[in-house]
Amino acid sequence: METNGERKGIPLIGERMPSVEAQTTQGMKKIPEDYSGKWIVLFSHPGDFTPVCTTEFYAFAKRNDQFKKLDAELIGLSIDQVFAHIEWVDWIKDKLGMEIPFPVIADDTGKVAAKLGMIHPGKGTNTVRAVFVIDPAGIIRLMIYYPQEIGRQVDEVLRALKALQISDANKVAMPENWPNNELIKDKVILPPPKDVAGAAKRKTPKEGYDWWFTFKSL
């Protein structure tokens, strides 16, 4: 639904990330503008000082350098005040020995979460466990939503980000669980032919099962 030309609720893959300006644990941030030219992994959690969210933040922080190697910046979010975020990330550092190196949006008004469709229906003001992967042009490329009760698999977020980047760079598709696919392992899938002549050229593919299912090594 659109109001005054602005979409309300969950945005769509392929749309530009709605511009938001918010207080974070690392100062005011304007997203995606402050991260122009970089990938962004924006993820929400239901609340500070909760067990599942703590395990997720630990995992994201532990892999922060891996995200940075992919030119990606992590940003957390929940509908909590900034002082709660600060206390919580300090607790994680003191009790678990893990420093949280990325900013956490203090969306205490709920405006950012509402703009991105992050409010969990039937759970009051809690945010869902959403993940948005945004490319350097500010376009939403991937979204993952989990219910409050289920923690995310952070390595899957990393895997999906790598797959998106390789797909973009090579104009190919990525198989299930790439690079550990059960059929074609770490190979990538070629785009299907767009006409009869193109299909005929692939009748006897060097690597593939049929003209519409061909692949290659990178």
Q: Which residues are catalytic?
A: 53
Q: H/E/C letters for each residue in 46-78?
A: CCCCCHHHHHHHHHHHHCHHHHHHCCEEEEEEE
Distance CA 114, CA 152 (A): 21
Sign of the alpha-carbon torsion through 73, 165, 134, 139: positive
φ/ψ of residue 67, rounded to 5 = -65, -40
Q: Is 143 exposed, middle or buried (0-12, 13-18, 19+ CB in 10 A)?
A: middle
The residues with which 185 forms a beta bridge, in sequence order, are 181
Which token pair is 115?
């703009």
What letter represents residue 206's amino acid?
Answer: K
